[in-house]
A and B are shown apart, each in its own frame.
Chain A
Amino acid sequence: MSAPERPPITFAFDGREMTAEAGQTIAAALLATGVRSWRTTRVEGRPRGLFCGIGICFDCLVTVNGEASRRACLTEVQPGDRVETQEGAGRADLER
């Protein structure tokens, strides 16, 4: 049986071009290239990345195409996605 087709797709992470396999989540794609954190916490500003991998811990939050707090472990990469490290809750546009 031949291996399934998993064509590469490209996306951007903090301005850098990255490659993922079609169907991979953002968390998997980033970890596959050695990136282990993509956000900082609200209070202490400490780095976080993947933890539970199944969508229940909400550690892996990242900003995708301007939308904050997407769970990277549940979000599949789409070609051309703009993924950005999220600081705290993100949504700096709301701050007053």
Chain B
Amino acid sequence: MPTSNGDVLMDTGAFDVLVIGAGPAGLAAATSAARGGASVALLDAAMRPGGQYWRHRDGDDGRGHHDWDAFKRLRGELERERAAGRIAHLVDHAVWHLERTPGADGFTAHIVHAGADREVTGRTVVIATGAYDRQLPFPGWTLPGVFTAGGVQALLKGQGVVAGRRVVVAGTGPFLLPVAVGLAEAGAEVASLVEANNPLGMATHPLAALRNLDKLAEAAGYLRALRHHLILYRTRHAVVAAHGTDAVDAVTVARLDADWRVVPGSLERIACDAVAVGYGFTPQIELADDLGCAAALDADGSLVVTVDAVQRTSVDGAFAAGETCGVGGAALAVAEGALAGLHAAAAVAGTRPDRTAVTRLERERARRRVFAAVMPRVWPVRSGWRSWLADDTLVCRCEEVPVSAVRGAVTGLGALDARGAKLFSRAGMGLCQGRVCGYATAHLAAAAAGRLATADDIASTVKRPIAWPITLGALAAGPIPDDRATPSATVPAREESTA
């Protein structure tokens, strides 16, 4: 069955390297592995490469995008390797489960494509499944018009649609800057950028700043743009409530103390028709969890896949790169992805990757990791957000579970941990399977039990053996057995830039 970019599944045979995810890390991994001589299957749920960071529309020329040159370079390499028959880029291929191939060396990715169940096997796998916005619940957050910051960005970059006429951007983290500026440049009125921390804390980490001067320059550029567009930049503030009948028409912004509790008397109402909110990112690691890869709580409170110097997980033959190993941005993801690809290819071939390339990439990775390590110290999430909640504030959007039910699961029904809180309250049992509410549920449950959230609490919100919905009919029909995908050399690449 042909995929929409022409890559075709043909004869049986395992690939050398499966790469899951075609964002910065996945693109780098796939192209590096192919250059290292491996046969590569690049599996992506989306129709176009780029992941979230380089989300774009057909025909985009880079305006409004970030590090577009880096993307063009990777995309060009992808096309060259596809044409050479070394990479099969399988679009609209969402992996619903990943396992070690029963009875054989290697891995099997179980896939949904065009509604059908498929399988692809590889001798090694690189998990580059990225991350999504971390959310904190607040009263009114379920009103239509309240979006994640990433959702507003996806609308703008991927669809050319501005989320609202008068937007408040809120949360914490450097990502809020491009979201606010992007909206303003597209013609929206950005009433305010509401940052819960004070990013001038970056000044207390001079080494990190010096080794990542491009980030400093980027930030300075955004701050200039905020001033240019007359966007009110409030630090140490948060949106603590959204208001409206059937959609948002205003938010309440409050000043926060050091623990993120509301400073009395500081409440202020801002009229708006859209809110873009994000408190950092949650790595999407369920496929690594399928394999049993070791994971640990990172400094930002997320569970991340543990990798060694060559990006190898605790499972032999399985590598991870990008946000899955720790939130750190696109440049870090590209460096990690390239290393993972090189080492995966070398592992299959029984060779050693080119030392010069590895050294250069390791240096880049080290430099970017310094910045990544500083991020949770400059933009932490502090526990006072729990004080913004009313008893009836929904924690689990899917199952409409209020705060009172999550706390009651612990205090009334004896749940000891996040898993118990889920079992007794239904929080996390809906379609999103805890992706959106997992962080909040884990912390609320732990707090109700009088303690801090542990890695086990978070881990119970990450375990998701079915990572993508698949119909029972597709499962019943069974997978098309392991197919070898080969690129169609005659079909031109979809978005070859004319530049």
Residues of A within 8 A of B45 (CB): 55
A68–chain B nearest beta-carbon distance, Å: 12
A1 and B498: CB pair below 8 A?
A: yes
The answer to whether B147 touches A53 (Cβ under 8 A) is yes
Asked if B154 and A32 make an inter-chain contact with CB atoms under 8 angstroms apart, the answer reads no
Contact with B along A34-53 (1 / 0, CB 8 A): 00110001111011111111
CB contacts (< 8 Å) of A41 on chain B: these are 400
Could you tell me the distance between the alpha carbons of A42 and B59 in the complex, rounded to whole angstroms? 40
Residue B183, interface by CB 8 Å:
no
In contact, A57 and B142 (Cβ under 8 angstroms): no
A53 touches B155 (CB 8 A): yes
Query: Given A23, A48, A73, which contacts B58 in the complex, CB threshold below 8 Å?
Result: A23
B242 to chain A, nearest CB (A): 12
Assembled-state Cα–Cα distance A46/B148 (Å): 19
Mostly, the A contact residues are loop
Does B296 sit within 8 A of A, measured CB to CB?
A: no
Q: What is the CB-to-nearest-CB distance from B417 to chain A, in angstroms, rounded to a whole number? A: 24
Closest-CB distance, A71 to chain B (whole angstroms): 9
Minimum CB distance partner of B276 in chain A: A53
Q: Is B163 an interface residue (CB 8 A)?
A: yes
A8 to B277, CA, bound (A): 31
Q: Which of B215-263 contact A (CB under 8 A)?
A: 246-247
- Cβ distance B63 to chain A, nearest Cβ, rounded Å: 10
Residue numbers in A under 8 Å from B284 (CB-CB): 56
Determine the residue in chain A with the shortest Cβ distance to B60.
A4
Query: A6 to B59, alpha carbons, bound, how many Å?
Result: 10
**Chain A residues whose C-beta falls within 8 Å of the C-beta of B137 in the assembled complex:** none
A52 touching B144, Cβ below 8 Å? no
Known: A52-B151, A54-B150, A56-B132. A32 touches B161 (CB 8 A): yes
Q: Is B167 an interface residue (CB 8 A)?
A: no
Q: Closest residue to B278 on the A side, CB-wise?
A: A52
A84 to chain B, nearest CB (A): 17
Residue in chain B with minimal CB distance to A55: B45
Q: Does B430 contact A (CB under 8 A)?
A: yes
Q: Which of A50-72 contact B (CB under 8 A)?
A: 50-59, 61
A49 CB, nearest partner CB in chain B, Å: 4
Q: Which residue of B61, B132, B148, B247 is within 8 Å of A37 (Cβ)?
A: B247
A-B contact pairs, 9 of them (CB 8 A): A24-B160, A25-B159, A36-B247, A43-B399, A48-B144, A51-B436, A54-B154, A58-B430, A59-B397
Which residues of chain A have a CB within 8 Å of any CB of chain B?
A: 1, 3-6, 21, 23-25, 27-28, 31-32, 36-37, 41-44, 46-59, 61, 73
Since A43-B399, A51-B151, A53-B155 are in contact, a sample of 11 more A-B pairs with Cβ atoms closer than 8 Å, ordered by chain A residue number, is A25-B159, A28-B159, A48-B142, A48-B144, A48-B397, A51-B397, A53-B152, A53-B154, A58-B431, A58-B432, A59-B398
